[in-house]
Chain A
Amino acid sequence: MTGQPLLEADGLHKAFGPTKALDGASIAIRAGEIVAIMGPSGSGKSTLLHCLAGIVRPDSGHVRYQGAEISAMTDGERSALRRTQFGFVFQFGQLVPELTCLENIALPLRMEGVRRREAEARAAEWLDRLDLADVGRKRPGEVSGGQGQRVAVARALVTRPRAVFADEPTGALDSLNGERVMRLLTEAARETGAAVVLVTHEARVAGYSDREIVVRDGRTRDIAREMEEAL
């Protein structure tokens, strides 16, 4: 690995009561790469993603974004980091139900202080490119699951983040819609140079990544790399 990674976790431990969710997990994400985090249910994938994104504070270990220790930041700094540098796509329930889809996509820009007209104009460009022109004025409750996930992809990318965190982004979709969401997400990320941290237990979804990290019992393994080094 050359140069400083964009995002790096080292020796993370995190327990919830008696449950060790992370037990010495490490991962490094380079700028612009798409990394799948795979592993069985309950192995610690989501917890690792939350630590990387500064949502959950690990009990011990380091998380660095562009070399800066995330746990050393104030809450304000950390939420500014999430707002300006990161984008998020979850399995469901991430859109604000009272806002239209267009307003949902514009929301991260509005929170950065972009004026309404400009924010909505930029959001509308995403609607077009994600083939969503006719859902812009609907509310999340009035669109299909696949359309809702594409709206979420647009919302995650509208601020041109450096890293997008996606936790089972296709988990609730059928194969066709899942493929559509993954294509849009990965194409848009490649185009804008965003790295993607993609949690999935589906191999077909992991097929869109550049490489995979496997989590088991709270520990990470980079099997492909171990295989290469063993040669």
Chain B
Amino acid sequence: MSIGQTFLGLLESGPRHGYDLKKTYDDRFGHARPLHYGQVYATLSRLLKDGLVELDGVEPGEGPERKRYAVTSAGVSDVESWLASAEKPEPYLQNTLYTKVILALLTGRSAADLLDVQRAEHLRLMRELTRRKAGGDLADNLICDHALFHLDADLRWLELTAARLDDLGRQVRA
């Protein structure tokens, strides 16, 4: 997640203090993983150095909270090109579940049991997210759905693998 570009985007609606940026970021994007103050001020000083933000005013007194930041036009183009460029998809080719299935087959343990146990665990989290969606707003629903679709993909893969276990076992041990 690019904190810098996200800050620039949040600053487009007007100058803000570092604390305010952190709070908005945590509310919208943190999802129980808030930013550290260290991250916030390191990011802001980098943006400042790169000319993507500028100080909008420094109030007298001590501490970092005196500073208000504004996005520069270079900063606006930076967010714009970030939003317009494609994210690299996750390759998904290193996967612990995959390793476990193959290792179970290689060592003569039950891969079917492993898949059953994992399904139960995935479904437990999916229920939690589904319940959270019932009480949340639409923006929160979106991130829950993002997680739910990925968990769902894992489970589809598990079901397909379960259906192929016999053939797979023969090939892996051959």
Residues of A within 8 A of B (CB): 38, 40, 183, 187, 201-204, 206-210, 212, 214, 221, 223-224, 227
Contacts and interface: CB of A to CB of B under 8 A. Distances in A.
Contacts of B123: 203, 206-207, 212, 224
A201 B117 CA distance: 17
B148 A204 contact: yes
Interface in B109-129: 116-117, 119-120, 122-124, 126-127, 129
25 contacts: A38-B119, A40-B159, A40-B163, A183-B134, A201-B159, A203-B122, A203-B123, A203-B155, A203-B156, A204-B126, A204-B130, A204-B152, A207-B123, A207-B127, A207-B129, A207-B130, A207-B148, A208-B130, A212-B120, A212-B123, A214-B119, A223-B120, A224-B120, A224-B124, A227-B117
Interface string B139-174: 000000000110110011001001100000000000
Contacts of B163: 40
A210 B130 CA distance: 11
Main secondary structure of the interface of B (DSSP, over half): helix
Contacts of A183: 134
A206 B116 contact: no
A202 B129 CA distance: 15
Contact of B152 (A40, A203, A210, A227): A203
Contacts of A221: 116
Main secondary structure of the interface of A (DSSP, over half): mixed
A223 B119 contact: yes
Given A206-B126, A212-B120, A221-B116, 18 more contacts: A187-B134, A201-B159, A203-B119, A203-B152, A203-B155, A204-B130, A204-B148, A204-B152, A207-B130, A209-B127, A210-B127, A214-B116, A223-B116, A223-B117, A223-B119, A224-B120, A227-B117, A227-B120
A207 to B, nearest CB: 4
Interface of B: 116-117, 119-120, 122-124, 126-127, 129-130, 134, 148-149, 151-152, 155-156, 159, 162-163
Contacts of B152: 202-204
Contacts of B162: 40
A40 B122 CA distance: 17
A227 B117 CA distance: 7
A203 to B, nearest CB: 4
Contacts of A201: 159
A38 B122 CA distance: 14
Contacts of A203: 119, 122-123, 126, 151-152, 155-156
A136 to B, nearest CB: 27
Contacts of B120: 212, 223-224, 227
Nearest to B121: A227
Contacts of B130: 204, 207-208
A205 B81 CA distance: 38
B131 to A, nearest CB: 9
A38 B155 CA distance: 12
Contacts of B126: 203-204, 206-207
B20 to A, nearest CB: 35
A182 to B, nearest CB: 9
Looking at B116, B149, B163, the one whose CB has the most chain A CB atoms below 10 A away is B116
A190 to B, nearest CB: 10
Nearest to B149: A204
A35 B43 CA distance: 48
Nearest to B156: A203
B133 to A, nearest CB: 9
